[in-house]
Structure 1
């Protein structure tokens, strides 16, 4: 009897085949099918759409093709995938959507070289990429995702002007500015970046423009013609060559694909955020390599030029040199490279451009790069051949000394380790700042035998200090000048400075790479981890980065 009762109870408790199940198709499959149908419509290019046709006629990739070309295959995870304005057909039919006009911003998470990022791209085929076609705050959602997840933010810009009326402040600008203090931000200008789009390009750590299709301006040609009566094409107003020569955009690229290559290279040197170490990459270039060319690359005649980029390429890991801003501020050379596989920033002067003196644009470029290295904890290879601030009426009108003061301020506020190599000149205030800036961490200084330093170049110093004697010498003026030069040459050798331990080491130029590689390994192992801990405990996310 008891056994029978247990069977009855078990029968009541067993689930019924139909209990709790809705009539019709099982589960939520219809809704899932509807979602997939909508996504398929949005993700399929309408080859007859005028906006899509215009993109193709201009030689541009479609927005989704751009993302696919940039990120690792199959890694893109889109947010807001069905955001758009649908058009419906017969309501009696399932999946009765006939068309969807999507938002003109596509964003999501992805990986680049197996490292996570957030990527957002404008779709110029929808309302010319204007911000009012972006469906709510999709682009700001992407920016906040990057900031909150602390992942690099990549913007593929093509449009993004205003297009609507709004009172200040501009929604989202604050999160873009905050991003600069903690995560790498890179932009590719792949069409006309107008208004808000132009601001996005410049609120970044690295920007590159496709030379065949990219432009940047605060307002387009129609608005400019109405305001200033200038009738200009897009390229005449804000073409790629113009803005890579004035510093608004860092680098020029031939096309979209080269833009993607450059951003990938930039990211390869960057940590995921300011609380991580920059990524090590194994190299086949021996750290013991010595280049014989370095022994004679600096001419004995101090006024003779040489190729600074040859020195950089010779010292850093083979093929690792990545220059930033090579088309503007030419007296200063900055970029990223590796030493023994470890990422470093590189600063140098180009004596072939204005003698290498610090002028306004060079100061702006250098200060920006100092901030980049400071934000992401990149140790610096500092190659010094600095004759001083630019002089003359042009330099004074350009306020070069004021911009120079911002460089000195950034140098003395920096906490990143420096490996300073005095190649040749270190004169005046600018020269002193480049070699003697005090940091919280170690600034290792060495000099080549070609090094030359002082308050000012000896030739100018003699002219100033012995002006009366030289003028009184009359016809023998030049002879007296040469005698004075010879007299001072005997006591101004860098070896004399080393004897007094005012420079720690004078080295064989060929040993620069081995010494720098040993130094950077120690820095990454002994200094940078503690630096990150100190920044975290102080609650510091990064410097006040100034784009």
Structure 2
């Protein structure tokens, strides 16, 4: 038998090497981003490049880039490639924690991430791929996010009509629909303005870096034209302290690496999409673990605040609590955790902030968090300490009652399993919102629980005015009435009437919560919620 190869009938002895060489050259140009000088400026600003960010975010060597050589090229008279400037967006598929995700990032070294160097289809493609392949999407944002700039008018010869006809409107469609379909994470790593700011906040979880990130609708030069301080700095206008306390951004960290770690951890609690449920995590923490610290965690003095976060940490699986939005609506603590490995959504009152009363901000935080749990089928654990809605002139000016009723509607519309532990206060209309109305919720009360239509403070004067006015010693009469009423307000009295289902030794709370999580597991129903989540 002859070892001679038959002649190539196509006559293509070299194969396609010239084209592959051309492709590799363009890929090399793309990896050079905006050029050495722009990369050096990014480095001097203490910021990673977009490719460094993606590499640090994802599982090692898992990035499958899409649209690598999309950009703008120039050619010589012989139609040979002379220069190539890549699009200022890098995107593709990758693995994070062993699961597939979509990653899309701004390249600030090319026209500062603005529209002048953008191919809009790349951003749309990433959003569409996440939506239709039902994969989480992580947006790495620095710049204006590809929105129009003043210079765009000259480069295109016309003014852009925001949201007009054409391809760009599809981004808004997918950005909205993805919030109801897949987990969305926004990382703001530098100056983030305009559409970039919208991209960041149109997410389920957003993070910025304290020392270098600033987020705003418009930057200082534009703001100065409306009469604001002309010397207003980026941090003064949109630094982390402003945006996190306002609730526009969920979290702030010290370094980019910490931001990537936060993104990875957040996704670990969620399914790939609403068409699945969250996987169970490791079961390394015994459900029967008892924490003696819980027995004395709540002081007998009802006016004394106490630390709720150690209580949460003692109840859920060790090290699993992932807090979200800690600087906004501080009367309530929200975050994700695991109980016997099962991902759960945790809410808890924080008495260190206006006694845990529900301000307008607290109500908005509750709405968004309950909607997140509903969207991704997470059972809710609520450690209740709510003395009622915030009261007073500022509360009325903030329309607290309207925000409160919206929070009540969000809770009542939820369908996920719900467990409430009555830790201390539950008063008034806000106290009603400790469980969804009209459906089953597991409820337990600690001996420290304390509830009623309204607190005694201030209420006795109104309800017993005639008795107090007729008394020889109004102060003594007040004390007598207060003692009499307090004797009737023991949670054990409520349990006698089955107004609370079960009293609980605080040290047994973890066991109860783990039982709830295991009962809730088979009740989680994959599929879209009856409404789409709004950021």
**What TM-score range do you get, normalising by the shorter chain?**
over 0.9
Give the Å deviation of 1:230: 2.5
CA deviation string 1:96-131 (max 9, x = no partner): 544321100000000101111000000011011003
Match of 1:4 in 2: none
Q: Which moved more, 1:168-177 or 1:359-368?
A: 168-177
- 71, 84, 87: which one aligns with 1:84: 71
Aligned mates of 2:388, 2:401 — CA distance in 1 = 10
Aligned mates of 2:36, 2:177 — CA distance in 1 = 41
Give the Å deviation of 1:18: 3.9
CA deviation string 1:447-474 (max 9, x = no partner): 1111111101133332221022213325
Aligned mates of 1:429, 1:233 — CA distance in 2 = 43
Is the 8 Å Cα contact of residues 317 and 337 (structure 2) preserved in structure 1? yes
2:18 counterpart of 1:30: yes
Query: Across the two proteins, how many residue pairs are aligned to each other?
Result: 516
Match of 2:104 in 1: 120
Aligned mates of 1:158, 1:46 — CA distance in 2 = 14
Aligned mates of 2:512, 2:214 — CA distance in 1 = 43
Unpaired runs of 5+ residues, structure 2, are 153-158
Match of 2:480 in 1: 483
Who wins on radius of gyration, i.e. which is larger? 1
Give the Å deviation of 1:229: 4.6
Match of 2:501 in 1: 504
Give the Å deviation of 1:381: 0.9
CA deviation string 1:212-253 (max 9, x = no partner): 111111111111122325211111111122101110100011
CA deviation string 1:501-541 (max 9, x = no partner): 121100101000011101101211x311xx22xx4xxxx45
Match of 1:467 in 2: 465
CA deviation string 1:377-413 (max 9, x = no partner): 0001111011111111111111111110110010110
Is the 8 Å Cα contact of residues 34 and 86 (structure 2) preserved in structure 1? no
SS of the residue 1:521 aligns to:
helix
Give the Å deviation of 1:37: 1.9
Give the Å deviation of 1:445: 0.6
Is the 8 Å Cα contact of residues 182 and 542 (structure 1) preserved in structure 2? no
Q: How does 1:512-531 map to 2 (within 5 A)?
A: 512-524=509-521, 526-528=522-524, 531=525
Is the 8 Å Cα contact of residues 426 and 435 (structure 1) preserved in structure 2? no
Match of 1:237 in 2: 237
Is the 8 Å Cα contact of residues 204 and 372 (structure 2) preserved in structure 1? yes
Q: Which runs of 4+ in 1 moved over 6 A?
A: none
Call closer, same or farther: CA 1:297–1:111 in 2, change over 3 Å.
same
Aligned mates of 1:210, 1:503 — CA distance in 2 = 45
Aligned mates of 1:18, 1:130 — CA distance in 2 = 50
Aligned mates of 1:205, 1:458 — CA distance in 2 = 40
Aligned mates of 2:213, 2:141 — CA distance in 1 = 9
Is the 8 Å Cα contact of residues 202 and 248 (structure 1) preserved in structure 2? yes
Call closer, same or farther: CA 1:258–1:542 in 2, change over 3 Å.
farther
Is the 8 Å Cα contact of residues 182 and 541 (structure 1) preserved in structure 2? no
Aligned mates of 1:105, 1:228 — CA distance in 2 = 34
SS of the residue 2:457 aligns to:
helix
